[in-house]
Each structure stands twice: as C-alpha cells, then as structure tokens.
Amino acid sequence: MRTTTLIACVGTWLVSLASTVQCADYRCDNGATIPARYITSALARVREQAQNGEDGFTLQQPGRPYKATPTTRSSIQLYWTHIDVDRNQSYVNGEYYGYEVVYSSNFDLYYVNAFKATDTWKENLISCQ
C-alpha cells in the first residue's frame, strides 16, 4: 500500500472516530438521561443509511431536514433522526417522550432534543445537554 493511500485511509478513519467519540450522556430538562451509546448509535445508523442510499438518503442529503434550515441565523443545513431509547427515558413523570439528534451533513452532532409524544409538530422542544 502506498504511503499516500495509507495516510488518506487513516485520516478518514480518524475523522469518523472523532465524530463518534464526541458524544457524552445528555441530561434533558424533562429529567431523563440519554446514554451516549444511544446517540452514537443514531448517528451511526444515519451515516450507514446515507452511505448505502437507504430511505432516499445520500451523502449530500443525509437525513430529514431540520426546521427548514438553513435560516437567517445559520447557513448550515441540519438534519434530524429519532433516537431509540429504553422505557426509562421514553416514559418520564407520567408523560411519553420522543428524542432526536440533530446533525450536519458531516454527521457532526449539533443538538439532542426531547419532545412530548403527543406534540406531533415538535413545537415545544425540550433541551438536552
């Protein structure tokens, strides 16, 4: 293997590793904690879907557009996907919640949000940090 090819492969691997390692547990304002492995899994799933052309996604359109971005405040198009969680996170204080990750076309994590399952338009997002 040529040195340049090896360096390119290692560089690609490091970039993908960096986006995977950036996750930590997220604590949401509804009292739930979303483990890092769920966030990492959601990002890995959408990356694989985009690479394989699944669900109409591509590397240029790697997910569902988030809130019709870009906006006047942001020039970066963001995308979202749901996070699969356990019952402990989905049912909190007598309410059912859904969770989403918001990411860029490079699969960089931007936000983790919670929303009440009855809020079909996700108008009242709950912050997770």
pLDDT in tens, 105-114: 999 999 999 9
Contacts of 90 (CB under 8 A, 6+ apart): 96, 97, 98, 117
pLDDT (average), residues 9-26: 56
- How far is Cα 19 from Cα 106, in angstroms, rounded to an integer? 9
In order, the DSSP letters of 78-123 are EEEEE----HHHHEETTEEEEEEEEEETT--EEEEEEEETT-TT--
DSSP 8-class letter at 14? H
For position 17, what pLDDT does the model report? 45
The answer to whether residue 124 scores a pLDDT higher than 70 is: yes
- How far is Cα 88 from Cα 114, in angstroms, rounded to an integer? 13
